Amino acid sequence: MNLENLKKVLEEGGFVDRRILERVEKEIALAGGTLSKALVQQGHVSPEAMATVLGFAFNLRIIDLRKVKPSPEALLLIPKNIAEKYNILPFSIERGILNLVVEEPVDEKTLNLLRAESKMPVQQAISFHGESDIKMKIQEIYE
């Protein structure tokens, strides 16, 4: 994930001021985690605002899992244990590409694993309501 681009969009968009960004960055340097998750967990940014920022910063679609349902064909390509482990939800197949809903962009290593598992190219989209919606949908749909 391009952290500098994310910080620029957060600051220039008025979502978070520089002091908060610097403080949270120091915290995650010590404790681990990601900037986007830490800002949401600490209440500096709502999950919906963070989804908007991530979508803009990384040129990704935003999907509201409360309003649309994943396709059964997409769900067959990624087993529940992998969806839970990486907190991703296979959503649709469009033009031979598996679309995955994520809380934040995932790294290339994870994308390669998901490509190998699904045996197709994958593309990411951001969950509008964040991590909790993905977890809820995984439990709801894979049962």
pLDDT digits (tens, 9 = 90+) for 129-140: 988 899 999 999
pLDDT digits (tens, 9 = 90+) for 104-125: 999 999 999 999 999 999 999 9
Q: Please tell me the distance from the alpha carbon of residue 38 to that of residue 42, in angstroms, as a whole number.
A: 6
Question: Strand, helix or coil at 119?
Answer: coil
pTM over 0.95, yes/no? no
Sequence-distant (≥ 6) Cβ neighbours of residue 55 within 8 angstroms = 61, 62, 126
Backbone angles phi, psi at 90, to 5 degrees: -65, 130
* Cβ–Cβ under 8 Å, residues 54 and 102: no
Q: How many helices (H) and strands (E) does the chain have?
A: 8, 4
Confidence of residue 1 (pLDDT cuts 50, 70, 90): low
Q: Please tell me the distance from the alpha carbon of residue 82 to that of residue 73, in angstroms, as a whole number.
A: 16
